[in-house]
Amino acid sequence: MLPFTRPSIGEEEQRAVAEVLASGWLATGPRVAAFEQALADYLGGGVTVRVFNSGTSALEAALIASGIGPGDEVIIPAMSFVATANVVVRAGAVPVFVDVDPVSRNLSVNTVETALTTQTRAIMPVHFAGRGVEMEPLRELARERGLLVIEDAAQAVGTRIDDTPVGASGNPVCFSFHPNKNMTTIEGGALACNDSGLIRRAERIRFHGIERDAEGVMDVLDWGGKMNMPDVNAAVGLVQLTRLERFNQRRRELALGYIEKLPRHPAMTLPVDVPGHSWHMFCVCVDFKALGTNRSAFQDRLRSLGVGTGVHYPAMHLYSHYRKFGYEPGDLPAAERIGEQTLTLPLFPAMTGDDLGRVCGAFEQLLRGGAS
């Protein structure tokens, strides 16, 4: 069975973990500091990086450290993993969902403008599947309206926009290093920013609100959680970061292979390559109804041919919790259509040409020979 994703972990990562275990320092320590500096160097732009136990924690800390709270609205795309909305609610604010472009699955300045109210405090774009959002119009709008921009780059480590790495902009940008991402720390995330005050607040939030003076005397200045990354995870990340560009190059090769070799069929829509895309996922849309089937049955047929798939994602505004904010079917049609038709194909660096051929052959069989 070919899974839709698989992390690339080798002997170098295993040795790095063994060294940390032998050192006796397992929690946040020298490897975390080294990993933060290595990430900052990789991103450029003079940003400071602080790592967390997950990308979700990094987003939550970025929102709280930015002063987002009750009475505020945060504009987010309806097409993302639910963590994007959950952290807004966790901060006490209201998520305002907007529709996305049917091809890129990203929000745009036009959809954001229509959602602005007097309570809007921040825009949180998501770089879906490694494709960068068109950021400059959003930043210009934010400057004009006095809004914050906090980027959810959980799926976009290594993505570039106009040849600049996502994360180098200076505004808060959050990454995830979950095992299904382009590089992993087993679990983990990071916040990149050039605001020293926000970074200090985020440091406190990730570890119980604690701050120490030059003599080491402890005080608790804010609410804080337990969001720190252990050295074991950072050791894996230090190795993975050196391999990230190779990982992403292989992902790009595979994605272009899909675009070239997948069958053209009126019931299937393929993603489009753009410069700087890091290809975290390869998500197609399949009109299952037009094929006389449904997604579950289609996935079962693919599994019988040795191909695993994922679903990324249902439209967030239609989850029961977010319907409480007044959303109904039909409100955001592009996101809803994607949510009904999306299918994530296998894509990871260890895939071979034969693997890719197996997936394309399976789709040829189902699309040309009947999916039911």
Residues serving a catalytic function are 181
Q: How far is Cα 35 from Cα 40, in angstroms, rounded to an integer?
A: 9
Strand arrangement of the beta sheet that strand 173-176 belongs to = 48-52, 189-193, 173-176, 151-152
Question: 211, 173, 181, 237: which is closest to 33 by C-alpha?
Answer: 237
Contact between 233 and 27 under an 8 Å Cβ cutoff? The reply is no
Q: How far is Cα 300 from Cα 283, in angstroms, rounded to an integer?
A: 17
* Residue 282 parent element (H or E): strand 282-286
Neighbours of 360 (CB within 10 A): 18
Here the tokens at position 274 are 């753009």
Contact between 93 and 74 under an 8 Å Cβ cutoff? The reply is yes
* Residues in Cβ contact with 65 at an 8 Å cutoff, skipping those fewer than 6 apart: 172, 198, 201, 202, 205
Q: How far is Cα 20 from Cα 266, in angstroms, rounded to an integer?
A: 53
Q: How far is Cα 166 from Cα 174, in angstroms, rounded to an integer?
A: 10
Neighbours of 139 (CB within 10 A): 15
CA 302 distance to own-chain centroid: 26
Q: How far is Cα 203 from Cα 28, in angstroms, rounded to an integer?
A: 12
Length of the chain: 372
Q: How far is Cα 169 from Cα 302, in angstroms, rounded to an integer?
A: 41
Match 């976009």 to its residue by tokens.
Answer: 156
